[in-house]
Amino acid sequence: MPSLSIWEIFSFDSFAHAFMFAVLTYLMIVGLKKQYTYMRVQLFAIRTAFMVSSMFGIAIELLQHFFVPGRQGDIVDVLSNTIGCIIGILLFKWIYQL
């Protein structure tokens, strides 16, 4: 088991990951809500955006770990990405008052 320091979670890198995924998730929800071609996707825009964004974050870390020499995936980055997705959802709900 790798040791996990509390300072790793509150590093600048973690905040950058969370910020970028908050923006990604927020903009994805707005885009999915404004499309009218697939009504089911529009209805479940928040769930869809959360699943796509969080799976994207996990995929990035897995690809980085297994296919990029000299780089390794980090569970703290996955956690930061997921927290950013949740922040993006909360931001959307706060702005649009849903």
pLDDT tens-digit series, residues 16-35: 999 999 999 999 999 999 99
Q: Please tell me the distance from the alpha carbon of residue 29 to that of residue 90, in angstroms, as a whole number.
A: 11
pLDDT one-digit tens code per residue, 39-77: 999 999 999 999 999 999 999 999 999 998 988 888 989
Segment 74-79 long-range contacts (CB within 8 Å, at least 24 positions apart): 75/2, 75/4, 76/4, 76/8, 76/9, 76/14, 77/13, 77/14, 77/17, 79/9, 79/14
Per-domain residue ranges for the chain? Answer: 13-96
Give the predicted TM-score (pTM) of the model: 0.85
Distance from C-alpha of 29 to C-alpha of 54, rounded to nearest angstrom: 13
